[in-house]
Chains A and B, each alone.
Chain A
Amino acid sequence: MDSLLDGRAELRLAAAGVGWVKKLRDSAAASFAEHGLPSTRDEDWKYTNVKPIAKRQFRPAGSSDEGVNAAAVAGCAIEGLSCHRAVFVNGYFSPPLSDLSALPPGVVLDSLARTLAERPQDLSAALGRVMPAESHGFTSLNTAYLTDGAYLRVPEGVVVEHPIELLFINTAIDPAPVVQPRNLIVMEPSSSASVLERYVGVGNGSYLTNAVTELSVRANASIEHYKLQEESVQAYHVGGLFINLERDARVTSHNVAVGGAIARTDLRAVLAAEGAHCEMNGLYLGNGRQHLDNHTQIDHARPRCTSDEYYKGVLDDRARAVFHGRIVVQQDAQQTDAQQQNRNLLLSPDAEIDTKPQLEIYADDVKCSHGATVGQLDSDSLFYLRSRAIDERTARLLLTYAFANDVIGRCALKPVRERLEQTLTRKLFHARDLEELV
């Protein structure tokens, strides 16, 4: 754990900035020094033990391309997805690997480091302000090291037609690096965009990604946000996505966890003004000994906001997952409509899920519901399919596919849907694609 902090002095020198940035970093460093990494004694980390991360020696990632070239980027691309792309290697922006030439005028997509150096005043209203004041050690650590990442600002009234991809390619070169991207997305009033935040591991070694994204969605703006976590299987991933929604703002979030030995995402949305709406979809696919943890919190702070949360997980082998969905309806937030569903499919008797819905309702005129289910593949359905000549493995795949189908179907981008279908097939059934089996 100390080794994580040792690099701090060095980084602080590298990015000595204006006063408010320095203050932000220093107070985060102080908070980290005081609290350290979370332990299983913390209620929010009861089921996720980060000791394997804490006891590892990580070095701060350097800002070189680490051998990642255009071919590697092409290899990570989602087939059929044409997008504006900002590429980050081990957390650092790589202009030559990025393609931002077709961005609509006025849209800013730049490296956070460069913006901090050249135009820090552009960031002062939002950076460090969307995320909650109280947060866990990983978030503090990210802020203490705050250096580079993506800065995206979609100006008022601008509709970005093509999706924007923030592609974080992480390499596992020895000694294992710690990669700490820090992203800020500001959707100015009445703007609209689709943004993919992708974490992709190349190579099979270990590393730690500790990412934080702040997303500010101003009045009447809308965003479809995808977080696709596809780290290498030996990597550790801790990510925070903090969202603030203003009046009539709309967010659709898709949070997909596929990779990582231990992966934890904290997703928090504050519905801070009337009429805001957020849809939160999640899919986690675990196998081997993976541990996938999603903590979500939706804060209904003001009246007449709606939220619809739908998380599904499929776990095989000895994989373990955690879903904690907290919904807070403040006293003021009358006429809230908040729905939450968490459904889990266990493909093996050794797979495990801890699911915990938590509703805290302080208003009286609200419509809230939640439900959580854990089940196996239905044996009657399996028999039915097999009696139609379909072999057992394909039958299991078809039913698993059917299970995940509706949450995948919520993704507006077809290439992403296809990618997820393919991931499910390859990861859990070791087949190239469904068509190969049937």
Chain B
Amino acid sequence: MMLSIKNLHASVDGKPILRGIDLEVKAGEVHAIMGPNGSGKSTLANVLAGRENYEVTSGSVHYLGENLLELATEERACKGIFLAFQYPVEIPGVSNIYLLKAAVNARRKYQGLDELPAVEFLKLVKEKVKLVEMKEEFLHRSVNEGFSGGEKKRNEILQMAILEPRLAILDETDSGLDIDALKIVAKGVNTLRGPQRAMILVTHYQRMLDYIVPDHVHVLAHGRVVKSGDKSLALELEERGYGWIEQQAEEIAAAVTG
């Protein structure tokens, strides 16, 4: 098992958000997590990436057999976890290429490898920039500064393509993208798909799932997985909306507290 989440509870600023998540992800699989706004999708993604102010109050997360919750954010990244942010931050004064170089070499250092020689690094970056159809000038701009919403998302995919994670978590990377950008993102993701890797796609719409076909679909509501299924569940949600799911979730919540 690559990722095993058991009965995960987490709070933000003392407010319980995740209320018992169970999820198992095997290498080679793609899981889609859907659910209404505020259901806790981003919270789950951030907890997995190790955000400090998200407090895990109970439950466990194991990643490649290790207790993930004991690892610092950067250690998780070194071990192959990658989060494509729903809202990537702008970092004025740090250039994109510098971030990429620092990230690549931090990973290599952790793996006991020497720094990637500059020539090879540039070759790698240029190849991936082509993959996500980005202009090379973006490399020399400050991280995400002044990027459009779509450019930011593409930049996340560029980083993912270069870092080649074992477990990629994409938090609404599809939101706000036009169809061409969506295809580019899908291409980036599909290129990375392989038997050694796994992906969690957090999405609000099933649109992206036309391009990246998931093995499993889960629906999150009120901090719990209320329904799991295959690709057809996404289509059902598309048709029926989230109302019926929310209602089910409330019933479950009432049963638990009552």
Residues of A within 8 A of B (CB): 378-381, 383-392, 394-395, 398-399, 401-403, 405-406, 438
B89 within 8 A of A: yes
Interface centre among A379, A390, A406 (most CB of B within 10 A): A390
Identify B74's interface contact among A380, A386, A438, CB under 8 A. A386
Contact B93 A389 (CB under 8 A): no
- Chain A residues lying within 8 Å of B7, measured Cβ to Cβ, are none
- Chain A residues lying within 8 Å of B107, measured Cβ to Cβ, are 389
Interface centre among A383, A389, A395 (most CB of B within 10 A): A389
B91 within 8 A of A: yes
- Chain A residues lying within 8 Å of B52, measured Cβ to Cβ, are 379, 383
Chain B residue with Cβ nearest A437: B102
Asked, given contacts A398-B94, A401-B93, A402-B94, whether A386 binds B72 with beta carbons under 8 Å apart, the answer is: yes
Q: How far is the CB of B19 from chain A (nearest CB, A)?
A: 23
- Chain B residues lying within 8 Å of A438, measured Cβ to Cβ, are 98, 101-102, 105-106
Contact A388 B77 (CB under 8 A): yes
Contact A383 B91 (CB under 8 A): no
Contact A389 B163 (CB under 8 A): yes
Contact B89 A391 (CB under 8 A): no
Contact B106 A389 (CB under 8 A): yes
Q: Determine the distance from Cα of A218 to Cα of B89 in the docked complex, in whole angstroms.
A: 48
Contact A387 B50 (CB under 8 A): yes
Contact B101 A405 (CB under 8 A): no
One digit per residue, 1 when the CB lies within 8 angstroms of any chain A CB and 0 when it does not, for chain B 30-42 equals 0000000000000
Q: How far is the CB of B146 from chain A (nearest CB, A)?
A: 15
- Chain B residues lying within 8 Å of A390, measured Cβ to Cβ, are 74, 77, 99, 102-103, 106
| A–B pairs, 17, beta carbons within 8 Å | A379-B52, A383-B52, A385-B94, A385-B99, A385-B102, A386-B50, A387-B76, A388-B77, A388-B102, A389-B74, A390-B99, A390-B103, A395-B74, A398-B94, A398-B99, A399-B94, A401-B94
One digit per residue, 1 when the CB lies within 8 angstroms of any chain A CB and 0 when it does not, for chain B 104-126 equals 01110010000000000000000
Closest 6 CB pairs of A and B: A402-B93, A389-B77, A438-B102, A386-B73, A388-B103, A389-B106
B203 within 8 A of A: no
B88 within 8 A of A: yes
Residues of B within 8 A of A (CB): 49-53, 72-74, 76-78, 82-83, 85, 88-89, 91-94, 98-99, 101-103, 105-107, 110, 142-143, 159, 163
Q: How far is the CB of B125 from chain A (nearest CB, A)?
A: 14
Q: How far is the CB of A433 from chain B (nearest CB, A)?
A: 13
Identify A381's interface contact among B76, B89, B101, CB under 8 A. B89
- Chain B residues lying within 8 Å of A388, measured Cβ to Cβ, are 77, 99, 102-103, 106, 159, 163
Q: How far is the CB of A150 from chain B (nearest CB, A)?
A: 35
Q: How far is the CB of B241 from chain A (nearest CB, A)?
A: 32
- Chain B residues lying within 8 Å of A389, measured Cβ to Cβ, are 74, 77-78, 103, 106-107, 110, 163
Contact A392 B72 (CB under 8 A): yes
Q: How far is the CB of B58 from chain A (nearest CB, A)?
A: 23
Q: Determine the distance from Cα of A102 to Cα of B92 in the docked complex, in whole angstroms.
A: 42
Chain B residue with Cβ nearest A388: B103
Chain B residue with Cβ nearest A400: B93
Asked, given contacts A390-B106, A391-B106, A402-B94, whether A384 binds B88 with beta carbons under 8 Å apart, the answer is: yes
Q: How far is the CB of A353 from chain B (nearest CB, A)?
A: 20
Q: Determine the distance from Cα of A49 to Cα of B85 in the docked complex, in whole angstroms.
A: 48
Q: Determine the distance from Cα of A67 to Cα of B88 in the docked complex, in whole angstroms.
A: 56
Contact A384 B89 (CB under 8 A): yes
Chain A residue with Cβ nearest B165: A389
What would 11 more interface pairs be, CB under 8 Å, given A385-B102, A386-B50, A403-B93? Answer: A384-B88, A387-B85, A388-B159, A390-B74, A390-B106, A391-B106, A392-B72, A394-B102, A399-B94, A402-B91, A406-B93
Contact B77 A402 (CB under 8 A): no
Contact A402 B92 (CB under 8 A): yes
Q: How far is the CB of B12 from chain A (nearest CB, A)?
A: 13
Contact A387 B49 (CB under 8 A): yes
Q: How far is the CB of B90 from chain A (nearest CB, A)?
A: 8
Q: Determine the distance from Cα of A389 to Cα of B75 in the docked complex, in whole angstroms.
A: 7
- Chain A residues lying within 8 Å of B49, measured Cβ to Cβ, are 383, 387
- Chain A residues lying within 8 Å of B101, measured Cβ to Cβ, are 438
Q: How far is the CB of A206 from chain B (nearest CB, A)?
A: 36
- Chain B residues lying within 8 Å of A401, measured Cβ to Cβ, are 93-94
- Chain B residues lying within 8 Å of A405, measured Cβ to Cβ, are 93
Q: How far is the CB of B80 from chain A (nearest CB, A)?
A: 10
Contact B73 A383 (CB under 8 A): yes
- Chain B residues lying within 8 Å of A392, measured Cβ to Cβ, are 72, 74
- Chain A residues lying within 8 Å of B73, measured Cβ to Cβ, are 383, 386-387
Q: How far is the CB of A30 from chain B (nearest CB, A)?
A: 50
Chain A residue with Cβ nearest B108: A389
Q: How far is the CB of A301 from chain B (nearest CB, A)?
A: 36
Chain A residue with Cβ nearest B105: A438
Contact B110 A387 (CB under 8 A): no
- Chain B residues lying within 8 Å of A406, measured Cβ to Cβ, are 93
Contact B91 A399 (CB under 8 A): yes
- Chain B residues lying within 8 Å of A385, measured Cβ to Cβ, are 91, 94, 99, 102
Interface centre among B51, B83, B91 (most CB of A within 10 A): B91
